[in-house]
Structure 1
């Protein structure tokens, strides 16, 4: 709480000279022990100062202009306007709810001090009123919320608003645009951005999503809650927004924890619809990629939460068996999901359909390191045996891998070779599961020997 020296310094922080004069008179009252008079003068300075600040920005700030249109008739007629001013400033997002509560309290303390109430005003109370009025309000500028929000929204349709499509660059632009924007303005900004998304202007719609993704990337609880309320909830009822919602979930999976049960069901359905529409046409790095979304969700929320609330989506993604090393490693600590993915891989590796087997054989070398990291020695052996099975059907891609003794899969081959140093009955079971019937020794001689040590 302010002392005498602090009170003098606080006066110097007030830019309006007339208001500073009121405060000096209040300071004199305080020094003379007239604490009741100090509070009354501070109250006058506070509400007159707020009016002056509103007038100073009203030409460019629609919110300030709206507040003045309501309270000025009362002020000009010397009527009580303080509570109306507080209500209007809060409604127009010029002050927060907390600041509104503080102003209401200061107004009550003035009323107790100025009217016969039996209330004894102390020095501590006078100092509190003085410091709160100056520090929280009189030394601060009026928030330019509406004018900043309108300026951002007006320029979002510009093709060069985001010169780059890289998320770090997009975040840099958004950070600059919102540098002077108060958190209290975020609901208004997101509501207007949501209005642009899905509109007739495709550039504005695309830029709106990029802007929201950059905000989601901050992973701030208050911003996340606003994104959910102003963007996710109103957009989650339309299939047209499946891709945008998926990208948001990929960026910040904790959005899912901020949803109501009904909205969570809607978003889960949109994740599945996006997966069905996008499939494997998007690169794994893209935020709309279903596998990327699932990996991000698992990494933040855990396997149990994902399976509890989004099992249909997870099952669909795994059924497509996306061949992305980053996806494999992302599931390393999720045994159920990883097991399902490995089962899908083995089924494709040994498929009787040439197209399926050849397609998987072509991507398997790129998965060698990732699969070796998450597979046991026996699992690695079974993967190679599955490829041999497809080779037996005549799939040329599988034949090429097997005939070259899996030299393009050095890490899986090393693990498969190591399986022979363990439980040989487990080796026999793995080969039998892949329908290899020529015996463990023959498999090793034909496909694994010699196997130089490879560190996985």
Structure 2
């Protein structure tokens, strides 16, 4: 027995499966020198594993696997062995790679020889060869071919309960577990397939494929993000019909915004602008599929001074339509501050008939942000406009209450400017005294 290579190292690679008993018996036969029996037991384990795999894919509604399972059932109903029918149908459908069907054919051929006493005796080398091929292609966790891994993934992500909570961090953790079985070289085909699943779902916000894609983007995998950028944002990667999910992608992974350049960026800017114009009502605060969340992503990632120039049409439309959205106050601390203030001032100057934004509520909500971000001159202009004759009723009520609902802004404009240290003529400024604005002159130090 010393010339017989041990197979324990192969046995250790075998995953737990319903075929485990067959595999254990094959090892015992090998150790006992019963090489014919080892080959037969190994073949039984392999075909049982492949049959179970096809049944899994059938449950996931993979049509090619359904044909394989139907062929197996037909053979069994006719009281025939099913192995030949299974192998034939696998070759016809291409549900597994050719290299795997070839390996399966070799194993079946070895089994057929081993099962007939009139054939030449099976050797330890024969048994080891069959067992090694079985483990490499069918019985170990890493043996699964790419197409099978992708088909299994599709089945899993569309299974009820796969994503338990639609929160991006939880989704990303689940996706990270699933993506671990794929090599980097697998990413190209995986992303291509994922895009097709999204198309079939019409890019619905509740699409499980979209959740999976957003989970991928949330992970720190630069190569994967580069492939996604090329696949989804390339020359023929998107259209206005699927603009909404592109917003989702860029909100979750803002780095995509700078990975896209040239004509593709111009097209994407047009697409985002059209999406924003198409919305009848603003999205809820904190929503992912939201033009305001997209603008925050643009501002956070592109930084000053490129916010305006990176996606100019998108910035224009979002500010024009949704400047008062609760997602956007942080923009007062960016190079978009003056543009945000212009929209605010324009709203303050509107009459009751023209007004659309609940301005008093906005000022109350953003009191601290505005008091910190705006200049003294801008705050003076804001108060001056809000106290003009014919101002809106809500602003009049705000004034009559002593501006107590906006204490931070009131405090800024109620304090006199400190004496100037520069040798310039004294300048005037407005200061709130009581409920009136009074002009005072700034003194020299």
TM-score, normalising length: structure 1: 0.61
- Equivalent position SS for 1:406: coil
1:56-455 → structure 2 map (5 Å cutoff)? 60=53, 65-69=97-101, 141-142=142-143, 144-199=145-200, 206-233=207-234, 236-278=237-279, 280-324=281-325, 326-332=327-333, 334-335=334-335, 337-356=336-355, 359-389=358-388, 392-418=389-415, 420-421=417-418, 428=429, 440=430, 443-447=432-436
In structure 2, C-alpha distance between the alignment counterparts of 1:236 and 1:387, rounded to whole Å: 48
Alpha-carbon distance, 1:279 to partner: 6.1
Larger displacement relative to structure 2 (339-348 or 416-425):
416-425
Kindly indicate whether residue 10 of structure 2 is the aligned counterpart of residue 15 of structure 1.
yes
Change in 2 beyond 3 A, CA 1:240/1:370: same
CA contact 1:197–1:206 (8 Å) conserved in 2: yes
**Residue-by-residue CA offset, 1:225-258 (whole Å, 9 max, x unaligned):** 1211333337743212111101111111211232
Change in 2 beyond 3 A, CA 1:340/1:229: same
Change in 2 beyond 3 A, CA 1:404/1:156: same
In structure 1, C-alpha distance between the alignment counterparts of 2:237 and 2:419, rounded to whole Å: 52
In structure 2, C-alpha distance between the alignment counterparts of 1:69 and 1:241, rounded to whole Å: 39
Change in 2 beyond 3 A, CA 1:417/1:394: closer
* Structure 2 segments unaligned to the other structure (5+ residues): 1-5, 13-42, 55-93, 107-139, 439-445
**1:110 matched residue in structure 2:** none
In structure 1, C-alpha distance between the alignment counterparts of 2:406 and 2:197, rounded to whole Å: 49
Change in 2 beyond 3 A, CA 1:318/1:204: closer
- Equivalent position SS for 1:180: coil
**2:123 matched residue in structure 1:** none
**Residue-by-residue CA offset, 1:274-321 (whole Å, 9 max, x unaligned):** 211236520231122212211111211223333333111111122225
**Residue-by-residue CA offset, 1:192-247 (whole Å, 9 max, x unaligned):** 22112232588797222111111111242111112113333377432121111011
Alpha-carbon distance, 1:68 to partner: 4.2
In structure 2, C-alpha distance between the alignment counterparts of 1:420 and 1:71, rounded to whole Å: 86
Give aligned pairs, total: 326
**Residue-by-residue CA offset, 1:18-60 (whole Å, 9 max, x unaligned):** xxxxxxxxxxxxxxxxxxxxxxxxxxxxxxxxxx9xx898775
In structure 2, C-alpha distance between the alignment counterparts of 1:357 and 1:384, rounded to whole Å: 19
- Equivalent position SS for 1:351: coil
CA contact 1:401–1:408 (8 Å) conserved in 2: yes
CA contact 1:295–1:331 (8 Å) conserved in 2: no
In structure 2, C-alpha distance between the alignment counterparts of 1:257 and 1:13, rounded to whole Å: 52
CA contact 1:377–1:419 (8 Å) conserved in 2: no
CA contact 1:349–1:361 (8 Å) conserved in 2: no
**1:35 matched residue in structure 2:** none
**Residue-by-residue CA offset, 1:52-102 (whole Å, 9 max, x unaligned):** 9xx89877597864224579999xxxxxxxxxxxxxxxxxxxxxxxxxxxx
**Residue-by-residue CA offset, 1:301-350 (whole Å, 9 max, x unaligned):** 22333333311111112222522455222451x32x11111111111122
Change in 2 beyond 3 A, CA 1:330/1:343: closer
CA contact 1:350–1:388 (8 Å) conserved in 2: no
CA contact 1:156–1:207 (8 Å) conserved in 2: yes
CA contact 2:384–2:437 (8 Å) conserved in 1: no
Alpha-carbon distance, 1:383 to partner: 1.9
Change in 2 beyond 3 A, CA 1:353/1:200: same
Change in 2 beyond 3 A, CA 1:205/1:447: same
CA contact 1:162–1:170 (8 Å) conserved in 2: yes
Q: How large is the Cα RMSD of the aligned pairs?
A: 3.8
In structure 2, C-alpha distance between the alignment counterparts of 1:276 and 1:419, rounded to whole Å: 44
Alpha-carbon distance, 1:355 to partner: 4.8
In structure 2, C-alpha distance between the alignment counterparts of 1:348 and 1:260, rounded to whole Å: 35
CA contact 2:285–2:326 (8 Å) conserved in 1: no
CA contact 1:157–1:204 (8 Å) conserved in 2: no
**1:106 matched residue in structure 2:** none
In structure 1, C-alpha distance between the alignment counterparts of 2:419 and 2:371, rounded to whole Å: 17
